[in-house]
Structures are given as structure tokens and as C-alpha cells.
């Protein structure tokens, strides 16, 4: 098969897989696995290359599964209910205070448990808290949606994109966090300033304090497991242990005790690790490998700067953000990693800034998702979120530049 034809086929398969993911998530593993299998069968990608890709992705997929189990364990232990109760009490009925608390909590949850936890587990709690203290839910919910992306820079576990890049980056867990600390602080600062102004009329209204709220029960066990896991991550390179084993230990510590008194079932746990999505990532890896090998990688190599100067890093971040907005940030990362890796850790981290912060521009994470949802009429009751796009236009360019400049500064030390 000519490489031109193979590239065209791989891109069609990629587009279809993304379409299914966007509009019919139930068939998502099938689409990627069948698509990847088809590309192997027609020879668009060699069997051994496909095998290498799968072997390369396997530790990352395992890592993700462990993190999902930890997040599920935290939910089971009541961490998110406790967070809701703490926020309700701490806000004293003030929308401003609630927003400040949501910022702190969303940054922490995103950094430690990943963006999925913020979107799936924290956002409903924040929504309920706003309803409970009778204040507008718009500022805190927008804050969750934005911070799930923009605070996901900090640690390798904060975003699947980070995990995908971390494995081959040559950075230790602690070094990754140290380099991304300043960019994260900068990005969160920008979000705070912009959101405060954007929702000024929602936040300005002072109000009287409501009735007494119940004292939250602090889930000590879940917090202890989280703290120990984080310490384990930080020390992993000193101890010579791959961070994935630390995650596995954390997942086991929070899951095994729940199995004995039957507070959870094997089925619930199996569902929590998102096996369909893990298969999808593996299949997507093979599809992207086929596209990369047949010309896409060299095209990306021609466009993406190689150096580590500030203008180079800014260009890498901007191009990565653009690509993440066209396709979703997971395929964008798979596509960009090999090229960015060749330019060193600075380029990899700049690429991550782009793919992590960029999706705040389009409210479903990418134009591909948006288009497919339109095409397949899966938009249900989607309303036009012009407001979301306006907010994205205000924050994304500013956060991209701030984070990249701060990354560049961190790299100079």
C-alpha cells in the first residue's frame, strides 16, 4: 500500500473513531479496536510496529486504571461529600468565598486525582453546594470546567496527556512537578483574575448568612492514602520504583479494604477503571501510529519548532493548543509526543501546556467532537454556549503565554 493511500485511510479511521467517541461513546472501544485492526490488516501499519505501540502504551494505560481506582475509592469513602460540606460551611453564604474555595479544591482534586475526577465527581458536588447556599452556580461550575483543564498541568497524574508524555519523557515525577509548578500557579492566577471579572455581577451581590450547616465527616482513610501515594510519587525516583507501582499500591490500599465488607463489587470496580476507554486508547495509539508513520509525523516535524528558546516553546504550546482544539487532546498528544520527545523535556512540557490548556476554547474539548455531535445529531439539549467560548477566548491565550513563559523560566534554573 502506498504511503499516501495509507495516510488517507488512517486519517479516515481516526476521524471515524473520534466521531464515535464524541457521539456514541458506547461503541468507542469497538471503533478504535476495529479501526486499528483494519489498518494492521491492510498493511497501513506493520504488525510489529503495532505491537511495539501497544507495549509502549500498556504501562500508561495501567497507570490510568490505577488512578481511576483511587478516584473511585475517594468517592466511596465520601471525600467529595466532605468537600461539599466544607465548602458550604466555609463560604458563609458568599458567592465570592465559594468561588475561592472551589478554586482551591478544584486545583487540588485536578492535580492529585486528575481532570476526570474534577469533571465527574467534583462538579456535581459544587453544583449542589451552590444550590444549598442559594447562590449562582455559574461561576463555580465554570471554574470547575476551566480548572479541570488548566490545573491539569501540575503532575503527571493530573491528565491522561501528561501520563502519555511522562512515560518516555525521561523526567522524574518530582522533576515534572517542579518544572510545572510555576506554570500552574500562573495559569490558576490568570483564571482567577479573569473569572472574577467575567462573573462580577454574579459575585458582587452580598447576602445574609443562611442557617447552620452540618459539620462534615472528614474521610481520614482516603486522605491518608492520597497523601502517602503523593509522597510515594515524589520519592519514586530516589527509591528507584516506577511511579506506576506507587499508583498501583495506592489503588490496592483504597480498594482492597472495601472488598471485604462488600461495600463495593467487582463489577463496580471493573466499571470504574473504564475498560472500554482503556481499549480505545490502545486502539487510538495504533491508528495514530499508522498516520504518523505514513507521513503525518514528518509533517508535524516540519511545523513544530525543535529548539528550547522561549519563542520555540511558545510556538510549540500554541500549535499544540491548536491541534488539541481540532482533534481532541488525547489523539493530539499521541501525535505530538514522538516529535516533541526528540527536542527534549522543555518541548514536551510546552506541548503539554498547549494540549491541556487549549481545550478551554471549545466547550466540548475539540472542534471534532463538536462537529461530530452536530453531524450525528447527538447534541441532545446542547445549548449554544457562546459564553463559554467568550470566556475561553479571554483565558486561553493569556494562560498559554503565562504558563509557557514561566516554564521557560523554570527550565533556566
Angstrom distance (rounded) from CA 10 to CA 294 = 9
- Encoded one letter per residue, x for contact with other proteins by CB under 8 A and - for no contact, window 153-172 reads --------------------
- Encoded one letter per residue, x for contact with other proteins by CB under 8 A and - for no contact, window 277-296 reads x--x----------------
- Encoded one letter per residue, x for contact with other proteins by CB under 8 A and - for no contact, window 319-358 reads ---------x-x----------------------------
Among 12, 104, 131, 256, binds other proteins (CB under 8 A): 131
How many other CB atoms are there within 10 angstroms of residue 406's CB atom?
Answer: 21
**Element of type H or E holding 1:** none
How many other CB atoms are there within 10 angstroms of residue 88's CB atom?
Answer: 23
Q: CA nearest 64: which of 281, 335, 265, 240?
A: 281
- Encoded one letter per residue, x for contact with other proteins by CB under 8 A and - for no contact, window 373-402 reads x------xxxx-x-xx--------------
Among 197, 207, 306, 390, binds other proteins (CB under 8 A): 207
Angstrom distance (rounded) from CA 118 to CA 147 = 8
CB nearer to other proteins: give 2 or 201: 201
Angstrom distance (rounded) from CA 140 to CA 142 = 6
Angstrom distance (rounded) from CA 128 to CA 137 = 8
* 274 counts as binding other proteins under rule CB under 8 A: yes
| Helix residue ranges per DSSP H, 42-172 | 47-76, 79-90, 95-113, 115-116, 123-132, 138-150, 160-169
CB nearer to other proteins: give 29 or 183: 29
Residue 208 Cβ vs other proteins, minimum distance, rounded to whole Å: 8
* 205 counts as binding other proteins under rule CB under 8 A: yes
The interface region with other proteins, picked from 182-190, 199-207, 214-222, 296-304 by CB under 8 A, is 199-207
Distance of CA 267 to the CA centre of its chain: 25
119: three-class secondary structure by DSSP: helix
The interface region with other proteins, picked from 96-104, 129-137, 182-190, 350-358 by CB under 8 A, is 129-137
Answer whether 244's CB lies under 8 Å from 66's CB. Answer: yes
- Encoded one letter per residue, x for contact with other proteins by CB under 8 A and - for no contact, window 28-57 reads x-----------------------------
* 91 counts as binding other proteins under rule CB under 8 A: no
The interface region with other proteins, picked from 151-159, 258-266, 269-277, 350-358 by CB under 8 A, is 269-277
Bin 365: left if φ > 0, else alpha if -120 < ψ < 50, else beta. left
Answer whether 200's CB lies under 8 Å from 393's CB. Answer: no
Residue 164 Cβ vs other proteins, minimum distance, rounded to whole Å: 13
208: three-class secondary structure by DSSP: coil
Residue 128 Cβ vs other proteins, minimum distance, rounded to whole Å: 5
Cell of 309: 528558546
Residue 290 Cβ vs other proteins, minimum distance, rounded to whole Å: 19
**Element of type H or E holding 3:** helix 3-23
Angstrom distance (rounded) from CA 306 to CA 165 = 17
CB nearer to other proteins: give 294 or 395: 395
- List contacts with other proteins (CB under 8 A): 18, 21-22, 25-26, 28, 95, 116, 119-120, 123-124, 127-128, 130-132, 134-138, 141-142, 144-145, 148, 201-202, 204-208, 274, 276-277, 280, 328, 330, 359, 363-366, 369, 373, 380-383, 385, 387-388
Amino acid at each position: 500500500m502506498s504511503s499516501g493511500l495509507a495516510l488517507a485511510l488512517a486519517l479516515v479511521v481516526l476521524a471515524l473513531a473520534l466521531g464515535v467517541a464524541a457521539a456514541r461513546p458506547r461503541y468507542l472501544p469497538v471503533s478504535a479496536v476495529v479501526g486499528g485492526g483494519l489498518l494492521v490488516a491492510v498493511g497501513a501499519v506493520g504488525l510489529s510496529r503495532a505491537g511495539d505501540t501497544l507495549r509502549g502504551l500498556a504501562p500508561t494505560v495501567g497507570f490510568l486504571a490505577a488512578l481511576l481506582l483511587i478516584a473511585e475509592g475517594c468517592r466511596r469513602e465520601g471525600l467529595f461529600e466532605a468537600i461539599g460540606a466544607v465548602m458550604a460551611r466555609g463560604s458563609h453564604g458568599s458567592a465570592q468565598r465559594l468561588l475561592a474555595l472551589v478554586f482551591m479544591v478544584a486545583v487540588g482534586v485536578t492535580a492529585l486525582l486528575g481532570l476526570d475526577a474534577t469533571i465527574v465527581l467534583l462538579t456535581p458536588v459544587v453544583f449542589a453546594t451552590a444550590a444549598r447556599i442559594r447562590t449562582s452556580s455559574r461561576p463555580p461550575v465554570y471554574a470547575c470546567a476551566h480548572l479541570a483543564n488548566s490545573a491539569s498541568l501540575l503532575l503527571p497524574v493530573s491528565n491522561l496527556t501528561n501520563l502519555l508524555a511522562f512515560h518516555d519523557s525521561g523526567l522524574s515525577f518530582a522533576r515534572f512537578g517542579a518544572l510545572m509548578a510555576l506554570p500552574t500557579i500562573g495559569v490558576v492566577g490568570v483564571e482567577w483574575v479573569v473569572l472574577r471579572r467575567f462573573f462580577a455581577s454574579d459575585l458582587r451581590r452580598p447576602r445574609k448568612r443562611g442557617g447552620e450547616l452540618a459539620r462534615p465527616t472528614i474521610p481520614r482513610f482516603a486522605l491518608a492514602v492520597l497523601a502517602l501515594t503523593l509522597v510515594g510519587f515524589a520519592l519514586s525516583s530516589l527509591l528507584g520504583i516506577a511511579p506506576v507501582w506507587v499508583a498501583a499500591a495506592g489503588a490496592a490500599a483504597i480498594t482492597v479494604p472495601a472488598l471485604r465488607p462488600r461495600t463495593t463489587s467487582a463489577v463496580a470496580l471493573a466499571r470504574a477503571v473504564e475498560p472500554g476507554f482503556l481499549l480505545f486508547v490502545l486502539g487510538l495509539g495504533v491508528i495514530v501510529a499508522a498516520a504518523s508513520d505514513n507521513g503525518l509525523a514528518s509533517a508535524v516535524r516540519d511545523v513544530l519548532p525543535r529548539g528550547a528558546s522561549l519563542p520555540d516553546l511558545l510556538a510549540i504550546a500554541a500549535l499544540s493548543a491548536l491541534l488539541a482544539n481540532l482533534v481532541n487532546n488525547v489523539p493530539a498528544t499521541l501525535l505530538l509526543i514522538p516529535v516533541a520527545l526528540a527536542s527534549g523535556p522543555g518541548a514536551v512540557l510546552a506541548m503539554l501546556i498547549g494540549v491541556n490548556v487549549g481545550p478551554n476554547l471549545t466547550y466540548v474539548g475539540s472542534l471534532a467532537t463538536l462537529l461530530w455531535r452536530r453531524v450525528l445529531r447527538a447534541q441532545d439539549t446542547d445549548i449554544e454556549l457562546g459564553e463559554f467560548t467568550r470566556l475561553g477566548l479571554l483565558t486561553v491565550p493569556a494562560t498559554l503565554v503565562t504558563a509557557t513563559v514561566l516554564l521557560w523560566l523554570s527550565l533556566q534554573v
